Amino acid sequence: MLLIINLLLASACAYFLGSVLSAVWCAWCFSLPDPRGFGSKNPGTTNIARTKRPYAKFAALMTLLLDVLKGYIPAYTIALLGYTKTCVLLVGSMAVIGHIFPIYYRFNGGKGMATALGVLMVLSWEFTLLNSCVWAVSYYVFRIASVSSIISVLTLPVLFLYSDQFYLLSPCVLLLSIFIIYKHLSNIYVLSLEAFLRNKESFKSALLAMF
C-alpha cells in the first residue's frame, strides 16, 4: 500500500514538474517572443530557435536542457530509490504527459520529445544513443525536425518489443509514442497551413498560369 501511495505522489510531482514549459520561461528570460504565438506555436526548442534574434540559439539550448531534465530527474530519482524499470517508466511518462498536457497552460503544451529523451536516458543509454542516431540520420535526409522526431519515436516501441530486458514495457512505450506523434502531426499541420496562407497568392497565380 505504501508503495502505491509513494508512486502516486511521485507521479503527481512528475506531472506538475513536466507541466512547467521551459520554452515559455526561457523566452521571457531572454526577452524573446512567446513561442506559442509564432511559427508552429509549439513551446519547444526548434520554435525558440526560429526567432533568429540575439540569444535565441542559447535560449533554445537552455530549453532543450531543461526539457530533458524534466524527464530525467523524476525517472532517475525513482531508479535511485530502487524501484523497478516499470515504475521508472510510469513516473517518467507522467512528466512527458505533463509537458504535452500542462495543467498550468490549459493542457496545451509541447511535443514531449526532449522530456521523453530524459526518461529514456535513465532506462537505457544504449536505446538513447540508437534513437538519437535514428533522429540524426532522418534529419540529414529530410531536413525537417518534426519528421525526424516522428521516425525516431516510431522506432521506440519496436526497440522495446524486441528487447529481452524491456519487452514488457512496450505497451506503455507505444501509448506514450502515440501522444508524441499526435503532437508532431498537429505541429506539421500548423506549419503547412501557415505556409499555404503565406503563399496563397503565389499558388493562385501558378494555378491560373496553367489554364
List helix spans (H) across 81-124.
85-100, 113-123
In sequence order, what are the residues at sequence separation of 6 or more whose Cβ sits closer than 8 angstroms to the Cβ of residue 196?
203
- Say how many Å lie between the first and final Cα of the chain, rounded: 73
Number of continuous H segments (helices) and E segments (strands) in the chain: 10, 0
Any idea what the Cα angle at residue 78 is, between residues 8 and 86, rounded to 5°?
Answer: 75
In order along its 211 residues, the chain shows pLDDT tens digits of 777 888 999 999 999 999 999 999 999 999 899 998 887 788 888 889 888 888 889 999 999 999 999 999 999 999 999 899 999 999 999 999 999 999 999 999 999 999 999 999 999 999 999 999 999 999 999 887 778 888 999 999 999 998 888 988 999 999 999 999 888 776 666 656 655 566 655 544 543 444 3
pTM, entire model:
0.85
The predicted pLDDT at position 148 comes to 87
- Residue 75 in contact with residue 123, Cβ under 8 Å? yes
